[in-house]
């Protein structure tokens, strides 16, 4: 059956139009698919401007970058990075958004940490890690992985995937203070790498216990008094070493467990007190221990009288200086002097042994 030339031409045009739209849609969906799977991240882009597809979807999870003396440094978090929410983000999203120098998912490689801050809780580990992250050759996980104490069954590959990418000359680090008191942790770290450098931030165990109690009290206002938890019998003054706030401070006992696997030369013991009074001095020791150039110096710090500890000075391009989150520097509740005196007597022999083991007198007695 014949057709008019004009009507036939219109039919052919409509058919071609449908085919063009169909192929265009295929190209669009193909492009979106590759972007979603990360292929787009491999395309060239300016080193410090590149932003991964994930960070575009999740801008709140990333941390702002600021220029400091020509280097890129990550600003300190406003909130305590060890909260439960960090662990949720860790297990659900990985750590690409926590990188302090992350420029692309395809720059560098993921390595097992060459150094780990293994303790102690409420000793100053968060401050130390954030001070270290100012250094351009340090790449560190933001939240606490808890691999060697809670998630070891997930395997080493899972652990390595949590690490930020590093370039040649950079070192990978993480911090989980509970490793120091975990019986299985030394053998597990040794199985990963017997050359791992171990950093322990220690603090007067009496002050540390009170700080530990204060943190718990803010989350659980109905908690019994400090003295009720610290003593098995308040009349006899028998200390309850089953209470974690007391047990953590018996440093010599925990160190003995670690020395079964690692020589003392692979440890650095950082004074939590000096990290407050002389942060640049302690950071010098840490950088030397890690084999790093002394980049983090006195010029990076100022003492915040309100919080009672040092903060990092304002990086170039930032509106104000940055301190650790609101959870740091809480005022401690009043503890009777007699309670503190008895607790100090309890810790004294353990402190003396710890001084002897480490070759350092921390001046707690």
Whether the pTM exceeds 0.75: the reply is no
pLDDT of residue 244 exceeding 90: yes
pLDDT value of position 86: 44
Nearest to 110, CA basis, from 170, 199, 63, 65: 170
Residue 122, marked binder: yes
Which pLDDT band holds residue 33 (cuts at 50, 70, 90)? low
Q: Is residue 287 situated within a structural domain?
A: yes
Residue 331, marked binder: yes
Q: Is residue 264 situated within a structural domain?
A: yes
Percent of the chain with pLDDT over 70: 68
Q: How many CA atoms lie within 13 A of 193 on its CB side?
A: 13
pLDDT of residue 306 exceeding 70: yes
Domain enclosing residue 300, as ranges: 109-204+248-331
Number of domains the chain is built from: 1
Mean pLDDT of 227-252: 94
Residue 271, marked binder: no
User: How far, in Å, CA of 287 to CA of 297, rounded?
Assistant: 10
Residue 126, marked binder: yes
Q: Is residue 303 situated within a structural domain?
A: yes
Q: Is residue 228 situated within a structural domain?
A: no
Q: Is residue 353 situated within a structural domain?
A: no
Q: Are 315 and 64 in contact (CB under 8 A)?
A: no
Condensed to tens digits (0 to 9), the pLDDT of residues 151-186 reads: 999 999 999 999 999 999 999 999 999 999 999 999
> Pick the catalytic residue: 60, 63, 64, 122?
122
- Residue 204, φ and ψ in degrees, nearest 5: -40, 120
Residue 342, marked binder: no
pLDDT value of position 106: 66
Q: Is residue 47 situated within a structural domain?
A: no
Q: Is residue 137 situated within a structural domain?
A: yes
Residue 125, marked binder: yes
Which pLDDT band holds residue 101 (cuts at 50, 70, 90)? very low
Q: Is residue 316 situated within a structural domain?
A: yes
Lowest average pLDDT, out of 38-42, 58-62, 201-205, 352-356, goes to 58-62
Based on the residue annotation, tell me whether 122 is a catalytic residue of this protein.
yes
Condensed to tens digits (0 to 9), the pLDDT of residues 57-91 reads: 333 333 333 333 333 333 333 334 344 444 444 44
**CATH label of the domain that carries residue 257:** 3.40.50.300
Residue 330, marked binder: yes
Which pLDDT band holds residue 235 (cuts at 50, 70, 90)? confident
């Amino acid at each position: 059956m014949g057709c008019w030339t004009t009507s036939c031409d219109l039919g052919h045009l409509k058919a071609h139009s449908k085919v063009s739209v169909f192929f265009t849609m295929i190209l669009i969906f193909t492009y979106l698919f590759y972007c979603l799977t990360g292929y787009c991240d491999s395309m060239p882009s300016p080193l410090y401007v590149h932003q991964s597809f994930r960070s575009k979807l999740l801008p709140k999870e990333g941390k702002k970058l600021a220029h400091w003396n020509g280097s890129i440094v990550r600003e300190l978090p406003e909130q305590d990075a060890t909260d439960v929410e960090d662990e949720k983000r860790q297990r659900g999203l990985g750590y690409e958004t926590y990188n302090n120098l992350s420029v692309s998912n395809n720059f560098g490689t993921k390595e097992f940490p060459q150094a780990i801050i293994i303790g102690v809780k409420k000793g100053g580990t968060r401050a130390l890690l954030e001070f270290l992250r100012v250094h351009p050759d340090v790449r560190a996980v933001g939240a606490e992985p808890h691999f060697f104490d809670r998630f070891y069954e997930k395997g080493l590959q899972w652990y390595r995937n949590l690490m930020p990418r590093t370039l040649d000359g950079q070192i990978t680090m993480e911090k989980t203070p509970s490793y120091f008191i975990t019986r299985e942790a030394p053998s597990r770290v040794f199985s990963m790498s017997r050359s791992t450098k171990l950093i322990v931030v220690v603090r007067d165990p009496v002050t540390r216990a009170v700080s530990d109690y204060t943190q718990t009290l803010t989350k659980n206002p109905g908690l019994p008094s400090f003295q009720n938890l610290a003593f098995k019998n308040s009349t006899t003054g028998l200390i309850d070493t089953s209470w974690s706030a007391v047990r953590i401070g018996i440093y010599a006992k925990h160190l003995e467990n670690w020395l079964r696997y690692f020589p003392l030369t692979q440890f650095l013991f950082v004074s939590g007190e000096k990290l407050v009074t002389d942060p640049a001095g302690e950071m010098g020791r840490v950088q030397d221990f890690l084999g790093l150039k002394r980049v983090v110096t006195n010029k990076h710090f100022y003492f915040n009288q309100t919080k009672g500890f040092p903060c990092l000075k304002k990086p170039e391009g930032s509106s104000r200086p940055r301190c650790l989150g609101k959870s740091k520097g809480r005022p401690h509740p009043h503890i009777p002097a007699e309670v503190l005196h008895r607790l100090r007597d309890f810790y004294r022999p353990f402190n003396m042994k710890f001084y002897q083991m480490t070759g350092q007198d921390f001046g707690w007695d």
